[in-house]
Amino acid sequence: MTLVNNRTKAHDETAGEFQRPPRFLNGEAFNKTFKWLSIGAALFVLMILGGFFVSLTIGAWPALKQFGFGFIWSSDWNPVTEKFGALPAIAGTLITSGIAILLAVPLAFAIAVYITQLAPKWLRHPLGIAIELLAAIPSIIYGMWGLFFFAPMFADYVQGPIINLFENVPVLSTIFEGPAIGIGMATAGIVLAVMILPFIASVMRDVIDTVPKRLKESGFAIGATDWEVTKAIIIPHCRTGLAGSIFLGLGRALGETMAVTFIIGNANRITASIFAPGNTIASTIANEFQEAYTEIHSSSLIALGLLLFIITFIVLAIARMMLNRIST
C-alpha cells in the first residue's frame, strides 16, 4: 500500500518540474571517484584470487619440491614414511561429485519443468520457496542426517541387497563390493546430490522462466504435448543456462566439506568399489590439517588445497568454453 502511495507522490512532484538531485551526487568529481571505486573493487577481487593462488603455492612448495608431479598420481598417503600423494583424494572428489551430478541433474530438471510448466498456479510459488529453503539448510545438518538416518537405512535396504545381487556377476561385483556399512563414496555422492539439487533446480527454474511465452504457445498451438514442448522448445532455447546451473552445482559438490567428512569414511585409498570408504580433497584437509605436525604433512595438505583450487578453476573454465560454444 505504502509503495503505491510513494509512487504516486513521486509522480506528482515530477509532474511539475524536474527536480535535480543534490549537486554533489551529480558532479564530475563524484563521477570520477565512482569510476575508480568500481575499478578498485573489481581489481580487489582479482587481487584476492591471485593472493589465494600465491599463498597456497608458497605453502605447498615443500611438498611440490619433494614429490614433484608425482604428487598428483601417487596413491600413497603415509605419514609414517612421510610419502604423500593426492590421487586417492582426487579420485574420491571426482567420483562423489560425479555420482551427485548424475543423480541431481535429471531430478532438478524434472522439478524445474514441473514448477514452471505443469504445476497449478497456486502451487508454483510455495513449491519454489520450498526448494529455495532446502538450499538454505546448513551442510552440517545434511552430514548429520546422512550419518544417523540415511546411512543405516541405505546399508540395510540398498547396499546389502545390491551386494548380494551382484556377488557373482563379473565387473559389477567389484563395483558393488564390501561390507554394507552405509558410509562410503556412494553415500557421500547421494547426500551431495540432495544438497546440490535445490541449487540446480532453482537456477533451472529461473532459466526456464525466460523462455518467451509465445514460443511455448506456438508449440502447443500446433498440437505438441508437454514433453514435446520441453524437448523441442525449452531445452534448445536455454541450453546455456541449463549447463550453467549444472556447473554451479558441480562447483558446490567439489568443495563440499563437512557433510562429506561425516559420511565418506575417511580412508585414503583407491578402491574399485563405490561402496568402499574413501576421502575427498576437502575432507582430507578437514580431518588432518589440525593434527599434521610434520612440515611435509601440512605442506602436502596445502598442496591438496591448491589442487582443489585448480580443479575447480578447470571445471569453471570448461563450463565457460562450453557455454560460449553453445551460444554462438
Partner 1 sequence: MKRIIASLAVCAAASAITATSAFAADQITGAGATFPYPVYSKWAQSYNKETGVQLNYQAIGSGGGIKQIKANTVDFGASDKPLTPKELSKAGLMQFPTVMGGIVPILNVKGIKPGELVLDGKTIANIYLGKIKHWNNKEIQALNPGVKLPDSRISVVHRADGSGTTFNFTYYLADVSPAWKKDVGVDASVQWPVGTGGKGNQGVSNYVSQLKNSIGYVEYAYALQNKLTYARMKNKDGKVVSPAMENFQAAAAGADWKHAKGFYLILANQPGAKSWPMTAATFILLHKDVKDPKATKAVLKFFDWAYKNGDQAAAKLDYVPFPASVKTLIRDAWKKDLKADGHSVYMGS
Quote the least distance from Cβ 99 to partner 1, whole Å. 18
Report yes or no: 92 and 278 within 8 Å, Cβ to Cβ: yes
In angstroms, the CA 130 to CA 228 distance is: 28
Q: How far apart are CA 206 and CA 303, in angstroms?
A: 38
Q: How far is the CB of 280 from partner 1 (least distance, A)?
A: 13
Q: Which CB sits closer to partner 1, 79 or 255?
A: 79
What is the SS3 assignment for 139? Answer: helix
Q: Find the shortest distance in angstroms from Cβ 11 to partner 1.
A: 33
Residue number with CB closer to partner 1 (148 or 220): 148
Lookup result for grid cell 551427485: 100
**Cβ atoms < 10 Å from Cβ of 138:** 10
Which residue matches cell numbers 553415500? Answer: 187
Binding site for partner 1 (CB under 8 A): 76-81, 147-148, 151-152, 155, 178-184, 261, 265-269, 277, 287-288, 290-293
Task: Give the nearer residue to partner 1 in terms of CB position, either 98 or 178.
Answer: 178
Instruction: Output the smallest distance, CB 80 to partner 1, in A.
Output: 4
Q: How far is the CB of 276 from partner 1 (least distance, A)?
A: 9
Q: State in angstroms the smallest separation of the CB of 100 from partner 1.
A: 20
User: Within 13 Å, how many C-alpha atoms sit on residue 226's CB side?
Assistant: 8
Whichever of 42 and 140 has its CB closer to partner 1, that residue is 140
- Cell 561425516 -> residue: 262
Residue 206's closest CA among 128, 134, 133, 130? Answer: 128
Give the alpha-carbon dihedral of 10, 12, 13, 17, to 10 degrees: 130
Residue type, 14: T
Question: How far apart are CB 155 and partner 1 at their closest, in Å?
Answer: 7
Instruction: Find the shortest distance in angstroms from Cβ 260 to partner 1.
Output: 13
Q: Which helix (H) or strand (E) holds 283?
A: helix 281-288
* Dihedral (CA of 111, 128, 99, 181) sign: negative
Contact 147, 263 (CB under 8 A): yes
CA distances from 276 to 148, 162, 255, 264 (A): 18, 14, 20, 9
Give the list of residues 6+ apart from residue 132 with CB closer than 8 angstroms, or none.
198, 202
Rank residues 197 and 264 by Cβ distance to partner 1 and give the closer one: 264
Cβ distance to partner 1 smaller for residue 234 or 292: 292
Overall size of the chain counted in residues:
328
> To which residue does cell 573454465 refer?
317
Residue (114 or 166) nearer to partner 1, CB: 166
Pick 84 or 199: Cβ nearer partner 1: 84
